[in-house]
A = this chain, B = another copy of it.
Amino acid sequence: MPEDSLGVPPGTLIMLVLRVLQHGPLHGYAIAQRIHALSADVLQIEEGSLYPALQKILLKGWAEGEWGVSETNRKVRFYQLTPAGRKHLATKVADYDRVTEAIQSILRPARS
Taking beta carbons and an 8 Å cutoff, which residues of A are in contact with B?
A: 6, 8-12, 16, 19-20, 35, 38-40, 42-43, 93, 95-96, 98-103, 105-107, 109
Contacts and interface: CB of A to CB of B under 8 A. Distances in A.
A6 B11 CA distance: 13
9 contacts: A6-B95, A9-B11, A10-B11, A16-B103, A38-B106, A39-B102, A39-B105, A42-B99, A43-B102
Contacts of A106: 16, 19-20, 35, 38-39, 43
Given A8-B99, A40-B105, 13 more contacts: A6-B98, A6-B99, A6-B102, A9-B10, A9-B12, A10-B10, A16-B103, A19-B107, A38-B105, A39-B102, A39-B103, A42-B101, A96-B103
